[in-house]
Structure 1
């Protein structure tokens, strides 16, 4: 009995799957899975209209295939985005560390007074007036020291970056 149903309805089930999928191999897989499910539940089913039952099973199998593909596509997109984000973060962190190291080396090359004024200004966030009190110099002298430090750092870092870009 099963063999006769298979021979009679396979072309219709395959055609249904192919009309939806437009891929021969996938339509064959769907048709095979429909008949496999029919075989597995042979004892428990007794459809009145076998053809419509099989066609409905084929449509549901195609819908399940589409859902599965959509889930897989979303998951691949999710992983790709997460991987890209983590890669970007690693790259950003590496670049940030490298820049910090370069800046620190350049600061260490400054004269002691410029270095002190720079650190109090940038690291501690102090005003020129506050720095002047600590260093026992005028506000204008602090301004000049910080300005010279900025010029020296720009020059030092510029020469380093131009060296990398050559």
Structure 2
């Protein structure tokens, strides 16, 4: 399950509009719930269970945010992640070409921004199908919807990403640099 943590965190950061602290809390809460309630289950059942729990935690958080924002909509939300803590840059000794590394970082940022621009259900379908490799049936169970809905969300996500990232595809006239 350790390899899932990073991917789940990226998914939650995208779903919470980059709120790293909240994303970490959701992932941790999902792991705690999995451990408390499903420790006796077979390990091959943990991945779908984890993502189902994580999806439920995300929906709960969204409901709380919607309720919290309504009565005080005139007031600005305060981001809890905007600390004035200086972060240290750690040099990667394996990154030989800084220009190439920067290009890769920009490319990753563009892809992450494109995914973050998708509606939440499309993000979930895309991340669970393309990144986690779940089949349509398992994804539908995790998302608590029909297989047809998963196929629709996934198809729309692919189309939207294809359109928004077309400039990066050298076969469609975009640049590869």
| Same-fold call, TM cutoff 0.5 | no
Structure having the larger proportion of residues in helix: 1
Name the larger-Rg structure: 1
Q: TM-score, normalised by structure 2?
A: 0.38
